[in-house]
Amino acid sequence: MDGMPIIHTEGLTKKYGSKVAVSELNLDIYPGEIFGLLGPNGAGKTTTTLMLLGLSEPTLGKAWIDGKDCTREPIAVKRIVGYLPDNVGFYSDMTGRENLRFTGRLNGLPDELIEKRIDELLEKVGMTEAADQKTGTYSRGMRQRLGVADVLMKDPKVVIMDEPTLGIDPEGMRELMELIRRLAAEDGRTILISSHQLYQIQQICDRVGLFVEGNLVACGKIDELARSMQQEGVSILETAAFPDDAGFRELLESLGNVDSVERTGDFYVVRSRYDVKRELLRRSLDAGYTLSLIRQRENDLDEIYRRYFEEAGEEHEVGDGKRAKRFGIFGKAGR
Amino acid sequence: MKSETVREQNVSESSARQADDRGPAGGTAALADVSAQEVIAAAAADIAAPANKAASADKAAPADEAAADIGTSKHSREKTERNGKNGRYAGNNRAHSGLYALYRKEMADHLHSGRFLIVLALILLTSYASLYGAVSNLSDAVASDSDYIFLKLFTLSGSTIPSFTTFIALLGPFVGLTLGFDAINSERSEGTLNRLISQPIYRDAVINGKFLAGATIILVMVLSMGLFIGAVGILKTGIPPTAEEVGRAAVFLLFTAVYICFWLALSILFSVLCRHAATSAMLGIGLWIFFALFMSLVASIVAGALYPINDTATVGRVLDNYECQTMINRLSPYYLYSEAVSTIMDPTVRTTNLVLPQQLSGAITGYLSLGQSVLLVWPHLTGLAALTAVMFAGSYIGFMRREVRSR
């Protein structure tokens, strides 16, 4: 991406008492980009989005969207930024159409434009048929899609979505991802997604930022992050053998430079500093094991993620064991 | 970028439409001028609008700059032209459109809700019942005192049914509480609040809109109630009210509206402070019952402790005790309202404080004029309005300071 960033923050910091929710955030997001803000719950993603919208005042630092100061000109910012909150809610005794109409009026749009836009957007998110039902009867996926329409009512330049994929079934998720991609590709909107669900984000994001404990620990394109990780020398191998006994595990652990061996389902995941395939082949033959699976795992976001969290976790390990545990659970949830 | 072209198309479409509206003579250049002016006007309005708000200095400065920008720089002018339509609706009504849209929605919500209909039915029923009681006792009352018959419709109680004013003093709070107890916390729990405040509106528009809509409903309700009683009363008795009676009834209705607005403000305050609608409703109902039933008990206990009356109590002590009791009672909006209304609706009441027989000796019996009655209860009206304002200010501050996160 080129030109001026549309979202720009300088040393953005938010403290709640002595707890630092976001620390010294410097972020640039360029027009037309889909940016993924990733991190576990409580990493400061929502706080960041709230500060960008001017709904929460930063303790230190500044943020600009399209050249407008988010703290001092919140109205101007909110005019061009659409926000889809986590678990979006609608007035349940109003129909979908009425809810959208209300949003249009809050934005001060003229009536004929509101009606025109409602029809277009309902079509776009595939909600035309359910438009005149009360939103109280909607399923979660429908609410989310209506939420997207709601955000687009003001024709925003920037769309901020907080956990948009949470609690949606796979088919709904696929449609939503497609919709988000179209928003960026066809309409040229800038999209900021905050999430802890890696796979969906991996599919559509141009760039990602990894958030841990209020710090942005890594930022860039997914393949760039992967490459930088490879340079650091991490190789992940999936393997299984027959007979599948404790001896094989010992063998894996005895390979040179192996960091960890983990059992996942009916195969092992071996992490090592460099490629151990040759050594594994030779030694398992010698020991009388027949390899039934040997596969080099691609560097995906999950691995990048785990890697950075381990690093961040080590830094924070002093005195807080609970946090490390949370990463563990979180890693599984991401799978 | 693609977006730019899309936007530009949209805008040129809309400006074309506008040009059509104004006829070919106008042209785009004129349009640009007009919209530029409008934007400047709007910016000026923007400056004026937040002036009462806390952050006026902060907000005004950029708006000022924006106005200057539009006036001078060519770039901005182009932008204005491009956003012809945007500029128009971005104009005057923008800062206030949020408040208006919210107000409209709240009104519609109230009018369509079953809750409101139940309250309305309850109020109409009690009005009718008290009116029935008053009319059935009217001939007896008129026999002893035949002045101000119209007012007696409001104040006369039947043999078993309390008077209309008593009913309203008791049930008015219920109306206010019903309208406001879940104003903010239901938005919060339904997850609509953060969607709402991420729209380009001032944050206080949310709470202002809610209070204004509630107050409007109350005003309409109270007025229609008064008209209903008046109309039925005239039909039943066949005696038209005098101008003074109409005036007194109007002041009574005003008092009632302010009284109910106090309860509305109080319930909105609770809805800001409490997370659950049930909690705020319970708090409101608790206070309502306390003021209506127990405040006088508390007052007499406190007065009894401060100025104990025993066998050897002097007249002064008894007077002190009574005054203390009255002053404590007057902290209750219920008492304040009842006292004010009984003064307004009964021209024979000359004072709201204690009068000794000595002070009355030589006084000529007669009625107080409307002006004098109003003068007597002016402090009550100010007190009630002030209490309402304090409650509203509390909820306003609470709402503005509250960090808004998802549910």
The single-letter code of the amino acid at A316 is: H
pLDDT digits (tens, 9 = 90+) for B361-380: 887 777 888 888 889 899 99
**Do A311 and A245 share a structural domain?**
no
Q: Is B202 on the interface with A (CB under 8 A)?
A: yes
Which of A64, A72, A75 has the most B C-beta neighbours within 10 Å, making it the best mutation to test the interface with B?
Answer: A75
Coil/strand/helix, residue A209: strand
Residue A271 sits in the same domain as residue A319: no
Give me the pLDDT at residue B37, please.
Answer: 46
- Position B300 scores a pLDDT of 92
User: At residue B261, does pLDDT exceed 60?
Assistant: yes
Residue for token pair 């009681």: B133
Question: Which has the higher per-residue pLDDT, A300 or A253?
Answer: A253
Same domain? A119 vs A259 = no
Helix (H/G/I), strand (E/B), else coil: A92 = coil
Contact A237, A290 (CB under 8 A): no
d(CA B128, CA B125): 5
DSSP SS3 for B367: coil
Does A82 lie in the same domain as A210? yes
> In this structure, what token pair is assigned to residue A31?
């027009």
Which residue, of A176, A206, A226, is where some domain finishes? A226
Secondary structure percentages of chain B, helix, strand, coil, to 5: 80, 0, 20
A290 and A247 within one domain: yes
Q: Can you tell me the distance from the alpha carbon of A170 to that of A199, in angstroms, rounded to the nearest whole number? A: 12
- Could you tell me how far CA A21 lies from the centroid of its own chain? 18
Which of these three, A169, A203, A226, is where a domain ends? Answer: A226
CATH number, residue A240: 3.30.70.100
Residue with tokens 């979505």: A161
pLDDT in tens, A124-149: 888 899 999 999 999 888 888 899 99
How far apart CA A314 and CA A307 sit, in angstroms, is 11
Q: State the pLDDT at residue B124.
A: 86
The pLDDT, as a whole number, for residue B9 is 46
Is A218 within a domain?
yes
Mean pLDDT value across residues B21-48: 43
Q: Which residues pair with A272 in a beta bridge?
A: A235, A258
Whole-number pLDDT of residue B17:
44
The minimal CB distance from B200 to the residues A79, A85, A155 is found for A79
Name every residue whose Cβ is closer than 8 Å to that of residue B160 and which is 6 or more positions away in sequence. B133
Q: Which residue has the higher pLDDT, A245 or B119?
A: B119
Are A217 and A258 members of one domain?
A: no
Residue A283 banded pLDDT, cuts 50, 70, 90: confident
**Residue B190 near chain A (CB below 8 Å):** yes
Which positions ≥6 away from B317 have C-beta within 8 Å?
B307, B308, B309
Asked whether the beta carbons of B60 and B76 are under 8 A apart, the reply is no
Q: In angstroms, rounded to a whole number, what is the distance separating the alpha carbons of residues B69 and B77?
A: 8
A307 touches chain B (CB under 8 A): no
Give the long-range contacts of residues A96-102, CB within 8 A, separation 24 or more. Answer: A96/A122, A96/A127, A96/A130, A96/A131, A96/A132, A96/A133, A96/A135, A96/A138, A96/A146, A96/A149, A97/A122, A97/A131, A97/A132, A99/A135, A99/A146, A99/A150, A100/A146, A100/A149, A100/A150, A100/A153, A102/B101, A102/B105
The residues with which A267 forms a beta bridge, in sequence order, are A264
pLDDT greater than 70 at residue B248: yes
Query: Per the domain annotation, does A178 fall within a domain?
Result: yes
Read off the amino acid at residue B272. Answer: V
Burial category of A213 from C-beta neighbours within 10 Å (exposed 0-12, middle 13-18, buried 19 and up): buried
Residues A174 and A262 reside in one and the same domain: no
Q: Are residues A132 and A73 in the same domain?
A: yes
Q: A38 lies in a domain? A: yes
ipTM for the complex shown: 0.74
Domain that holds residue A312: 302-334
The answer on pLDDT for A176 being more than 70 is yes
B177-to-B108, B172, B283, B286, B390 alpha-carbon distances in Å: 18, 9, 10, 11, 17
* CB-CB contact of B269 with B391 (8 Å): yes
Give me chain B's average pLDDT, please: 78
How would DSSP label each residue in B24-71?
Answer: TTTHHHHHHHHHHHHHHHHHHHHHHGGGGSTTHHHHHHHHHHHHHHHH
Domain CATH number, residue A32: 3.40.50.300
Q: Which residue of A46, A82, A106 is in closest CB contact with B405? A: A46
- Chain A CB contacts of B100 below 8 Å: 105
Q: Which residues of B touch A150 (CB under 8 A)?
A: 195
Question: Which of A56, A89, A93 is closest, CB to CB, to B191?
Answer: A89
The reply to whether A277 and A138 lie within a common domain is: no
**pLDDT grade for B82, boundaries at 50, 70 and 90:** very low
At B49 the pLDDT is 43
Reading the block at residue B233, the tokens are 């009363």
Asked if residue B33 has pLDDT above 70, the reply is no
Task: Say whether B1 and A109 touch across the interface (CB within 8 A).
Answer: no
Q: How many CB atoms lie within 10 A of CB B292?
A: 17
Bridge partners of residue A161, in order along the sequence? A84, A193
Element (H, E) at B166: helix B164-180
Q: Which residues 86-125 of B have a C-beta within 8 angstroms of A?
A: 88-90, 93-95, 97-98, 100-102, 104-105, 109, 112-113
Nearest-neighbour CA in chain B from A73: distance (Å): 7
* C-alpha separations of A9 from A57, A66, A70, B197 in Å: 13, 11, 10, 22
Q: Mutate which of B199, B210, B399 to disrupt the A interface (most A C-beta within 10 Å)?
A: B199
Tell me, yes or no, whether A1 lies in a domain.
no
**Mean pLDDT throughout A182-204?**
84
Residue B287 has pLDDT above 80, yes or no: yes
Instruction: Give Cα separations from B106 to A92, A146, A300, B365 (angstroms).
Output: 14, 21, 49, 50
Residue A111 CA from chain centroid, whole number: 36
Nearest CA in chain B to A106: B98
Rounded to an integer, what distance in angstroms lies between the CA atom of residue A111 and that of residue A113?
5
Tell me if chain B has a CB within 8 Å of the CB of A100: no
The residues, any chain, with a CB within 8 Å of residue B235's CB and separated by 6 or more, are none
Local structure of A194: helix, strand or coil: strand
Report CA Rg, chain A.
23
Helix A111-125 to helix A140-152 angle (10° resolution) is 140
Whether B334 has a pLDDT exceeding 60, the answer reads: yes
Helix axes B93-112, B114-144, angle to 10 degrees: 70
* B80/B102: higher pLDDT: B102
Q: What pLDDT digit, counting tens, does each position of B118-150 carry?
A: 988 988 888 888 888 888 888 888 887 777 888
Q: What are the CA-CA distances from residue A164 to residues A21, A145, A175, A201 (Å)?
A: 21, 10, 12, 10
Are the beta carbons of B89 and A108 separated by less than 8 Å? yes
| Alpha-carbon span A322 to A145, nearest angstrom | 36
If one counts the domains in chain A, the total is 3
Give the SS3 label for residue A299: coil
The sign of the CA dihedral B68, B71, B74, B75 is positive
* Domain co-membership, A139 together with A247: no
Q: Is A60 on the interface with B (CB under 8 A)?
A: no
In a domain, A29, yes or no: yes
User: Does residue A112 sit in the same domain as residue A18?
Assistant: yes
Closest CA to B176 of B239, B112, B306, B268: B268
Chain B positions in Cβ-Cβ contact with residue A69 (cut-off 8 Å): 62
Task: Kindly list the distances between the CA atom of residue A22 and the CA atoms of A2, A25, A41, B77, in Å, as whole numbers in the listed order.
Answer: 27, 7, 13, 39
Give dist(CA B299, CA B328) in Å, integer. 6
Q: How far is it, in rounded angstroms, from Cα B177 to Cα A56?
A: 31
Instruction: Tell whether the model's pLDDT for residue A304 goes beyond 60.
Output: yes
- Report d(CA B40, CA B64) in Å as an integer: 9
Residue A2 within any structural domain of the chain: no
Q: How many CB pairs under 8 A join A and B?
A: 117
DSSP β-ladder status, A215-220 and A207-212: antiparallel
Residue A151 lies in a domain: yes
Q: Is A141 among the domain residues?
A: yes
Same structural domain, A329 and A194: no
